[in-house]
Amino acid sequence: PLGMAVFCLLGLGVLYHLYSGFLAGRFAFFMLSEPAAAGPETPRGSAPAGAVDLRELLAVSVLAAARGGEEVKRVREGNVLNAKAKGKTREGAEEQLTTGDLLSNRRMFYLLKGAFPAVQINSEERVDTAEQETVPWDRSIPEDIKQKIQPKEVPAESVTVWIDPLDATQEYTEDLRQYVTTMVCVAVNGKPVIGVIHKPFSSYTAWAMVDGGSNIKARSSYNEKTPRIIVSRSHAGKVEQVARQTFGNKTIIIPAGGAGYKVLALLDVPEKNQEEADVYIHVTYIKKWDICAGNAVLRALGGHMTTLTGEEISYTGSDGIEGGLIASINMNHKALIEKLPDLEKTSHK
């Protein structure tokens, strides 16, 4: 019996020697991998969990705007808009909703959400969870973005994405295609840092990142004697008289549709059907998904977009701003604001 006991003890010692390393390794692997079970695996080469690479977010934003634009164009060319009123603006005008709005919104939202699930996304149109779809992104970054933009990580909780799946819906229903855009904006701690404005019917895309780079430039000059003020088609009459009193009788008023189109009018856009302007003014309540992308592009190029009283616009909290807006580039923005006391009062009417 003593010999058998010794033999068994020796056998246990051999087994322990053989398997202790394996068991320890498995235990360590289990302990290290346990926290990751709570979320998706971080792809190789991307930002760590809880962080977002703004260069990657710019790349997928450009793609989302283009994919949404494909839906907008397809619906318009197929003439299956199914337009209906979704409510009234504060001025009493009917707000239109079309199939193009809805399909573009779904494509853009789920592409961005699939690529960055931890990021908050605010969209003009409601997302129907019953129509949830997977829109994959291969995480590729276009060469022009690679060349101009360096990786930059920020906390995911500091990021808010604003998407406008179809800007200028009224003009879209009237087949005024030049005004229509799809837009994506990325705000970090409420400040717009990435802007993408895409024109579906010409496939032109402008993008910019604050303290990064852009694929668009500001126009080099403007005419002070005959300044051109671009405004909403529905507000042209309200703005014209005060604008002429402010800037002079030679002021040119340009009525146009879509906030994205109006911002592009301030920039050097290589398109024949893009009008040019020196100042963009809006005198009533406006939603943040309409203006966030344009604000980011202007900031990246050294321009400004503020309320009519000169306040910076924060892209957190409520969906809109009350104080109207004024946008300019390569101009004395503060001096412009000082000329507009009456317009600020008009914005609350």
Annotated binding site for Mg(2+): 124, 164, 166-167, 290
Instruction: Write the single-letter amino acid at 215.
Output: N
Distance CA 91, CA 98 (A): 21
Which of these is catalytic: 98, 160, 169, 307?
A: 169
The DSSP output letter for 329 is: S
Beta carbons of 183 and 51 less than 8 angstroms apart? no
- Maximum CA extent, the chain: 117
Distance CA 74, CA 67 (A): 11
Please report where in the chains the tokens 């010692």 appear, as a residue: 13
Beta carbons of 111 and 63 less than 8 angstroms apart? yes
Distance CA 294, CA 206 (A): 10
Which of these is catalytic: 98, 101, 181, 307?
A: 101
Tokens of 244: 């002429």
Instruction: Write the single-letter amino acid at 333.
Output: H
Residue 338: C-alpha distances to residues 59, 179, 250, 308 (Å): 38, 30, 19, 9
Residue 306 known to be catalytic: no
Residue 169 known to be catalytic: yes
Catalytic residues: 101, 169
